[in-house]
Amino acid sequence: MQIWIDADAAPRDVKEIVFRASARLNLPVILVANQSIATPGNSSRITSIAVPDGPNIADKYIVDHAKPGDICITADIPLAAQLVDQGVLVIEPRGEEFDDRNVKSRLAARDLLDAARGAGMEMSGPKPYGSKDKSAFASTLDRVLTRRLKNP
């Protein structure tokens, strides 16, 4: 089992929580982004992969390399849908776990909002990432890791 982070937009707090879990459980973590991402110097279990700049290149890399049972951290709903279809466990940085019961409806809602924005409707963006989000993410990651380690 590996933990993948769609690192282009992952909050620093999320990465730090994952890094601590990696150290505690000796799990490999792979950050994928369109730019070089710094990793903690004291861990050989954490690597960073810089992919060429371009739309969805990092997403494609994760889809092509993640395996069933891996965990991925991403806020990208289309990426989450692809990974769930592959048997990858997906957690959103605000703590929502995506699975085959909820990812399709989240993708449909995302597409609807995207179409509305494309039609010129003004909508507010996401609220700033805060301490409640960080706590929700940490709890979900802990729950997912516990479940995954008990049932490989």
Where is pLDDT greater, at 60 or 53? 60
Helix axis angle for 131-150 and 12-25, nearest 10°, is: 30
Q: Domains (ranges, CATH) in the chain?
A: 3-150 (3.40.50)
Residue with tokens 């994928």: 32
Please work out, in degrees rounded to the nearest 5, the angle formed at the alpha carbon of residue 80 by the alpha carbons of 86 and 51: 90
CA–CA distance, 152 with 150 (Å, rounded to integer): 6
pLDDT of residue 90: 96
d(C-alpha 22, C-alpha 116), whole Å: 40
Distance CA 28, CA 57 (A): 21
For the sheet with 46-50, list strands across it.
46-50, 29-33, 3-6, 71-73, 89-91, 97-98
When pLDDT is averaged across residues 32-61 and rounded to a whole number, the result is: 89
Q: What are the tens digits of pLDDT across the range 1-45?
A: 999 999 988 999 999 999 999 999 999 999 999 988 888 877 789
Which pLDDT does position 6 carry in this prediction? 96
Beta-bridge mates of residue 46: 29
pLDDT digits (tens, 9 = 90+) for 82-134: 999 999 999 999 999 998 887 676 666 655 556 656 677 676 667 889 999 99
